[in-house]
Each structure stands twice: as structure tokens, then as C-alpha cells.
Structure 1
């Protein structure tokens, strides 16, 4: 019943039980069982990490996903952790790789980053700091947290986010036809300073926009050594965390007409457990109550 409530809207579970199991289970029953299970699930067990001793490095990604609540749109902060051994290459071009993950662990919190960070830290606690590879979108609080807590880790600014920033920041002016493509190549070569010089030469770009772009690339230059990252075998995109938004949050919690209230946090915890393949924590709850 809990699994049904975690994967689909409560009304659909009523149909499922009647159609396939010939059981009369109301939507409210599924809601109550799901809610109780989520409330009983201990976060110290849910976010107990692993050491990944058999892996050369471990990726960690963080981003935010918004859901509609009774108080308006609120952010759910999402983290995803996986080893390089769990990455399966599906397709590859000169500038982009599509991968599939055989296993990963999730962290999610509906609230402030101050409450989210200890949960993520717990998930990472058994991993050697120098094995960590963070790939993020340049969010200031994430960057500060990584630098303070994991100074030995490798920090990478998502390459595709860096390109998007440049594309959006210069779309209002005419540029040579191959200008953006050339900047992509410079970034892949780790030549951020050259990209900054190219931005300075855009005479039609308003000074305020120009300064904003220059500051962005100057402030993030230390995590834009894409040539080195690729030589080391690291991925430079954060597609895994974008996928996490869909599978962990949006598929269940961003459906038409949904507005979330007190059931938000228990359901998020349960989805973290199921998507991280930690169903044994749910099973343990029912064994205790039996």
C-alpha cells in the first residue's frame, strides 16, 4: 500500500487494488498508511551513506526543484550521489555524452539549505573527500558549502550551464555566425580567459550585461578547467541531477491540480528511499509494527 501511494496518486491506488487484487482499499486508507510510513522513517538511516571503496571517484550533484504548495511554489532541494562504476555510456558525440546510471543515492529536503546540508553531508560522510567530484550549476550557497566542507574535492561547473549562460547573455545582439561555437571550443580547451576577452570585445552588448557575464566567468574560472576534467575521465555535465528532478519529484509531485501540505515531507522521504533502492527501511517499519 505504501509503495502504491509513493508511486502514484492515492486515487489510482484504489483502482489498482480493486482491479488486480480484488481488494477494497480507499484512497484515504492509502494516504494514511503512506503518511504514517513516511513519518516513521528515520532520516539517520535514510541518509546513512556508503564508502564506495571500489570506486576511483564519486559524483555528487545538487539542484533545486519547485512544487506547488498551499503557500505557493516552494523549492525542494535535491542531491544525487553515484560512483563512476555505476555510469553506463549510451551514446557519445564530440561535445556530449548520454549516460545511464545503474545505481545512485538521493537526498531531498523541502525547506532551507541549512536543513538540507546536514542530510547531504551524512550521505557523503563515508567517502574520502579527495574522491568526490561535485558538478553544480554555480549556485552561490552550494559553492560556498563545497569549498568550506570539502576543500579537497574536485568542483566542476556544469559545462552546458556555462554555455547556456553565454548564449542567454548575448542573444540580444548580433554576433559572427560561429561566435558561440568558438566560445564552446575555448571552454572545452580550458581557455576561460580567452572567452572573457571575447566578451569584452562585444561592443554592442550593454555594459551592465557585459559586466555580469565577465564576473560570472571570472568567479567560476577555478571550476571550469574542462580540458583537465575530460583528461581525467570526469563528466562535465549535470544531466543526472536534472533527471533526478523528474524521477524523484516531478513524476509524483508536479501533476495537474496538486497542492502540497503536511504530507509533503513524509512522501519525499519515502520517494528518496524507494528511488535509492532502500526499500528495506520501509519493510523494517512494518516488521516492527507486526
Structure 2
């Protein structure tokens, strides 16, 4: 008589084959489709995951009720409460375990060593892997659609409120983290760039409350290949702030600090002509080559032509083509030809004042930005002359998620989502969640004072007035 073997005598493959055979005997029927077979196997995998997680947790050594190092100050802190239960939702199902709670009176910080050992989020009901996946859904689609799409991929459903809580929790960590550390974690620096391009611009987002629209500032920093006259793929870095320049400037400077802007041989700052852009460029990159966006320069000429020739004039395309030709030669040629138009405009009986004002505004605009409009030389050097990178960044970083039909954001949620979207586009879907958590846990980095690097320029981090103004504008 053959003696039965114990389970330990079977190999892992033999056990899996037996489990698969028994499952097939249980669920198979003659008219099963491939989809039904796949779903049955997925359910089997989900059912077997829960005991697997519990078995792994049982292998951990019991936590001793001894003092543990505070994550902030490093001092050994005794146990305050023993054996607190926590239930979290994992990819394999819910799991419950016990751990000890410590509280540091000096740092006013409570912590669970087992949570940190397991790399669990400090708050919430999800494991890191679950939270990472929930965040990926919530950051790319509206919450109602996310909850429905989640059911297509996973057996356990999630609610819209869970998606909101994850965004709020991780978004707060992204805001609170040291921004230099965050940028290094999102996209570690790889040496010094030969050419670094900086672009910044603003757009409006719909906000709930008495102020229906709020400006969001977006900055993009990327490395440029002058030989091919195009950005180097995968080296773009994005920052986004729903507030004014007082808060945006230090965040952008931290991104430039990670790119080692002080060591870059050539920095290019492309702007749309707004005076605040050039002020920001003078403060953050005083040695940068400033370039007026080509399309804005041409558009100003077209706007002037509409006043001189009329909105529906058939000569407008010719006017635009002539403006492009003159701007390609240099701003001086365009200004000289515009000045020649003045005697003809003065002969008008009607709308003479408006026409002269339009010419005066265009000439003033070109003279103000004359040193930023040497497009022929810039093209020969393989440098960008358009701000298309930041224009498209507003669409694919912010507006694709935050400016959909009927959306209205609370200011606090808009600020957090903007930070998360910028981090997402910088690091990519696989890396950005872990990068935010590492930056949030890391201590702030010491850096040189702006007085040494930026010729004494002050912004919100140093100036009390700006800090107070930003605090009032923030949620």
C-alpha cells in the first residue's frame, strides 16, 4: 500500500499543478468562453493572495516593546501604546496586523516602526502598491470614471471618496517636501547640460468660490540639442503652482538648482514678452540668453495689421508674410519699415488715431524686446525661438486633467493636483509616487543663499511681505 506524502514533500510546481487541476474540475463547463476562463483564473489568483500575504507576515519576527529611533531626531523613544491593530487593503486583499506606537515629545511626532519597516503609508487604508495604482488612476481621469475603470482591472471596487483622499494625502506630501530633494528624486541630474532652456507661462483654471478663475504658473526646463535643434528626449522637468510669482519663483529656482544652472555654459530663456517673464529671468538666470517667442512677435504684427487694414482685409496674409520676412532679418528692419507707414496713416480721415496708436504700440513692443529678437543668428546657432514647450505643457500637464467640461476646483485641491501633475510628467508613471514619498521623508537640504548666487535678489522664501501675500492667496 502506497504511503501518502505530506504537503511538504511536494514541489512548488506540483502544488500549483494540483491547485490548477482542482480549480478546473470545479469551474469548467463545456460552453465556457475564453473570457470566462480568464476571469475564473484571475479570481483564483485573487483568492490565493490573501493567505499568501498573511503567511509572509507571520514570518516576521515579533516586534519587541523596546525603544526605537525617532525618524526626525534619531533619539530612542519608548513604546507609548502596544499592539495597535491596522487593517490595510493590499493587492491580494485586506490584511490585519499589530504594531507598537511611539511618540517623541521633542519632535511632536508619532510613528510606528513596523509601518516604516513595511514601507507603508503613514495614513490611510491602502498599502503602498495599492496607493500607487489608485493615484495613477486619480491623477489621469475624473474620479467617477476612475472608480468605474478600476473595476475593469481589479476585483475589489474602490469609491470616489477613496480617490479624493489619496490625491489629498499624496498632494499634501508633494507640497510639503523639500523641492530640491523632490526634483532630485523625480529626475536625478546627469552631469551638466551643454544648453539648458527655460520657459515659463501662466494660464487660468476654473475655481469654486468668489474668484471663478485662478492663474496657474507652469515652468519647463529641458536640455537642448543644438545640432539637431530639438529638445533632448526624456530630459524635461516641469513645475506648476496655482498662485503668483511669489510662490512660483522659488519652486522654479529649485528645479534650476538641480540642473546646476550655475555650471551650464549656455542658458536660454524663451518668453512671450510679458515683463514679469523677463524680471523672473533676470532674477533666476541673469546670464541667460533671452529670446522673445517668434509666434508672439509675429502675432503682434498681425494684430496691428488688422487695425490698419481691417479684420477681413485680403491683404492680411501678405502683411503677415512681410512681417515674418522682416523679423527674420532682424528687428531693426521691421521697425524701419513700420516707421515708413506713419506718413500714409496720417493721411487718413477716419480711425487715424487708432491706427497711429497701433503702430506706436507695435514699434514700442519691438524696441523693448529688440535684443531678444535676433532670430537669424539664433537659428544659425541651433537655438529654439518658440515657447511651444511651455504652451503644450499647460495642455498636457494641467488642462488635460484640470480643465474639463463642468469642472470647478477648490483652491486647495487645485494646488495639490497641479503639483502632482507636474511631478507625474517629470518622473513618469512608474517613478513619481515613490519619488514623492522619499522626498517627503528626507530632511531638507542645505543650499547656498540666493544672495550669493542671484546678486541679492529676494523672493517669497526670504521676503516677509511676499510670504504673507502668498499665504493669503493660498488655501
TM-score normalised by L of structure 1: 0.88
> Is contact 2:291-2:372 (8 Å) kept?
yes
User: In structure 1, how many angstroms separate the alpha carbons of the residues matched to 2:408 and 2:220?
Assistant: 25
Displacement of 1:167: 0.4
Displacement of 1:173: 2.3
> What is the RMSD computed on CA atoms of the aligned residues?
2.6
User: In structure 1, how many angstroms separate the alpha carbons of the residues matched to 2:166 and 2:316?
Assistant: 61
Task: Give 1:149-168 correspondences, 5 Å limit.
Answer: 149-168=284-303
> Is contact 2:141-2:401 (8 Å) kept?
yes
- Corresponding residue of 2:358: 209
Aligned with 1:18 (options 151, 154, 166) = 151
User: In structure 2, how many angstroms separate the alpha carbons of the residues matched to 1:218 and 1:27?
Assistant: 54
> Is contact 2:326-2:334 (8 Å) kept?
yes
Aligned with 2:419 (options 269, 272, 276) = 269
**SS of residue paired to 1:23:** coil
**SS of residue paired to 1:173:** helix
Displacement of 1:62: 0.5
Aligned with 1:75 (options 208, 212, 215) = 215
Structure 1 unaligned blocks of 5 or more: 90-97
- Report the CA distance shift for 1:148/1:139 in structure 2 as closer, same or farther (over 3 A): same
Aligned with 1:169 (options 292, 297, 304) = 304
Select between 177-186 and 6-15 the one with higher mean Cα deviation.
177-186
- Report the CA distance shift for 1:176/1:274 in structure 2 as closer, same or farther (over 3 A): closer
Q: Does 1:123 align with 2:261?
A: no
Q: Does 1:57 align with 2:57?
A: no
> Is contact 1:57-1:133 (8 Å) kept?
yes
- Corresponding residue of 1:226: 375
- Corresponding residue of 2:434: 283
**SS of residue paired to 1:257:** coil
- Report the CA distance shift for 1:18/1:63 in structure 2 as closer, same or farther (over 3 A): same
- Report the CA distance shift for 1:137/1:35 in structure 2 as closer, same or farther (over 3 A): same
CA deviation map 1:54-91 (0-9, x unaligned): 532011111112110012111100000110149977xx
User: In structure 2, how many angstroms separate the alpha carbons of the residues matched to 1:110 and 1:51?
Assistant: 26
> Is contact 1:63-1:241 (8 Å) kept?
yes
**SS of residue paired to 2:390:** helix
User: In structure 2, how many angstroms separate the alpha carbons of the residues matched to 1:6 and 1:176?
Assistant: 43
Q: Does 1:251 align with 2:384?
A: no
- Corresponding residue of 1:240: 389
Displacement of 1:179: 3.5
Aligned with 2:236 (options 101, 104, 108) = 104
- Report the CA distance shift for 1:155/1:234 in structure 2 as closer, same or farther (over 3 A): same
> Is contact 2:224-2:231 (8 Å) kept?
no
Q: Does 1:2 align with 2:135?
A: yes
CA deviation map 1:245-283 (0-9, x unaligned): 110011000001111112111111111111001654522
Tell me which of the two structures has the higher relative contact order, counting C-alpha pairs closer than 8 angstroms and 6 or more residues apart: 1
Aligned with 1:133 (options 260, 268, 278) = 268
> Is contact 2:199-2:271 (8 Å) kept?
yes
> Is contact 1:47-1:107 (8 Å) kept?
no
CA deviation map 1:123-176 (0-9, x unaligned): 112123542111110110111221233221111101111001110122122368
The structure having more radius of gyration, on CA atoms, is 2
Number of paired residues?
Answer: 280
- Report the CA distance shift for 1:86/1:103 in structure 2 as closer, same or farther (over 3 A): farther
User: In structure 2, how many angstroms separate the alpha carbons of the residues matched to 1:183 and 1:149?
Assistant: 32
Displacement of 1:99: 7.4
User: In structure 2, how many angstroms separate the alpha carbons of the residues matched to 1:265 and 1:72?
Assistant: 15
Displacement of 1:286: 6.0
CA deviation map 1:198-233 (0-9, x unaligned): 222223362221111111000000100111111111
User: In structure 1, how many angstroms separate the alpha carbons of the residues matched to 2:328 and 2:235?
Assistant: 28
User: In structure 1, how many angstroms separate the alpha carbons of the residues matched to 2:366 and 2:157?
Assistant: 59
Displacement of 1:101: 4.4
- Corresponding residue of 1:200: 339
